[in-house]
């Protein structure tokens, strides 16, 4: 049985669609990750330190 050119074209089209979908999903997750990292307030280190005016016994 001989493969037709149409089958090869369909296979290339499916592979192209899957690759483009993978690229779009990867870029979307990357943008969401970097947006979250950039806008994350983080921990305020100064609020973790307790200030006492009298020395401990």
pTM of structure = 0.56
Sign of CA dihedral 21, 26, 32, 35: negative
Residue 14: pLDDT above 80? yes
Hey, is 28 helix, strand or coil?
Answer: helix
Question: What pLDDT band is residue 53 in, cutting at 50, 70 and 90?
Answer: low
Residue 17: per-residue pLDDT: 97
> What are 4-13's pLDDT values in tens digits?
767 888 999 9
Burial class (CB in 10 A: 0-12, 13-18, 19+), 18: exposed
Residue 20: pLDDT above 70? yes
> What are 23-51's pLDDT values in tens digits?
999 999 999 988 887 776 666 666 666 66
């Amino acid at each position: 049985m001989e493969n037709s050119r149409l089958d090869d074209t369909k296979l290339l089209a499916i592979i192209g669609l899957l690759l483009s979908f993978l690229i779009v999903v990867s870029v979307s997750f990357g943008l969401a990750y970097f947006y979250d990292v950039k806008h994350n307030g983080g921990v305020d280190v100064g609020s973790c330190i307790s200030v006492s005016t009298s020395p401990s016994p």
